[in-house]
Amino acid sequence: MDDGALPPLVMLLWSLNVLVDSGGQLAFKAAAGDPGAGDGLARWAWMARRPWLWLGIGCYVAEFLLWLAFLSLVPLSEGVLLGSINIVAIMLLGRVLFRERLSRMRVLGILLVALGVAVVGLKG
């Protein structure tokens, strides 16, 4: 890691982590936002019978294992900062898939997080 670039295995683990973490968040949003779910306990029973909830849980199990593998290869301070790119991915995918609003401040936040991740990733 002396040349400033992340090794291929670290990049792979990082990319897979972003993919499954984002997938889990989106699956949970799909489960929670289901209009047929109802209220209270009925809502939880409805969600438990839907594949979105179980997909989200599966993604979180995979993300946990990938995160452990990733952290075994990078310092914690670097790993946590690189992991912040998940925020950007989830916000952008939420916009595309769920038509969530991105205010100017959120876009500015996305840009600042992405810039910070780029700085840490390049080890500038």
Closest CA to 16 of 81, 76, 83: 83
Q: At what angle do helices 104-122 and 76-83 cross, to 10 degrees?
A: 140
> Looking at residues 25-42, what average pLDDT do you find?
85
Mean pLDDT computed over every residue of the chain: 88
Of 9-23, 38-52, 58-72, the one with minimum mean pLDDT is 38-52
Q: Which helix (H) or strand (E) holds 68?
A: helix 51-71
Query: pLDDT grade, residue 53 (50/70/90)?
Result: very high
pLDDT in tens, 71-121: 999 999 888 888 888 888 999 999 999 999 999 999 999 999 888 888 877
Global pTM reads 0.82
Chain CA centroid to CA 74, Å: 18
